[in-house]
């Protein structure tokens, strides 16, 4: 996709399409979740990344989570998407899924130097961006329906 192309999402268009996941272990009512530190931005966030040409959003989420965490995850329920302006002032949409680890192990890499399993309260305190806290809240609301 060229820089001039836009992604059409309903009535809005976006410069960047990305996808990722909220990885959890344990029961949804009392989970531990993954947060990652990205040295390039010095932030704490959920694993995610930009779509490659021809990928579905689900494929992007799976690939990006695998690349950043080393975890081969199963995608579960979709969480609400978030939209924002990125560090290059491009409009961006990110779709998230609930994910559970099927296999794999984390190794620090260029994109993610630290991965931590934390309780939701700690995640909420450490996530850098408000839109990630919104995704966390949506994830936590799932545990109350079970």
**Domain annotation covers residue 139:** yes
Q: Give all strands (DSSP E) within the chain, no chain letters.
A: 7-9, 12-14, 16-25, 32-38, 43-45, 48-50, 71-85, 91-104, 114-118
**Quick check: is 6 in a domain?**
no
Count of Cβ atoms closer than 10 Å to residue 75 Cβ = 18
Instruction: Per residue of the chain (146 residues), give pLDDT as tens.
Output: 333 333 444 546 899 999 999 999 999 889 999 999 999 999 999 999 999 999 999 999 999 999 999 999 999 999 999 999 988 999 999 999 999 999 999 999 999 999 999 999 999 999 999 999 999 999 999 975 44
> What was the pLDDT predicted at 28?
84
Q: What is the CATH number of the domain that holds 119?
A: 3.90.79.10
7-to-88, 91, 134, 146 alpha-carbon distances in Å: 17, 10, 23, 35
pTM of the model: 0.88
Q: Is 57 a member of any domain? A: yes
| First CA to last CA distance, the chain | 40
Host domain of residue 127: 13-143
Domain membership of residue 104 (yes or no) is: yes
């Amino acid at each position: 996709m060229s820089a001039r192309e836009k992604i059409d999402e309903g009535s809005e268009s976006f410069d960047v399409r990305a996808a990722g996941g909220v990885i959890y272990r344990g029961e949804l009512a009392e989970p531990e979740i993954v947060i990652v530190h990205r040295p390039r931005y010095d932030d704490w966030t959920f694993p995610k990344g930009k779509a490659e040409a021809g990928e579905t959003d689900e494929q992007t989420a799976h690939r990006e989570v695998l690349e950043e965490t080393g975890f081969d995850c199963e995608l579960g329920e979709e969480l609400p998407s978030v939209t924002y302006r990125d560090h290059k002032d491009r409009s961006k949409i990110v779709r998230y899924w609930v994910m559970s680890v099927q296999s794999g192990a984390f190794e620090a890499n260029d994109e993610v130097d630290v991965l931590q399993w934390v309780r939701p309260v700690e995640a909420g305190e450490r996530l850098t961006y408000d839109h990630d806290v919104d995704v966390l809240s949506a994830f936590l609301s799932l545990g109350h329906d079970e």
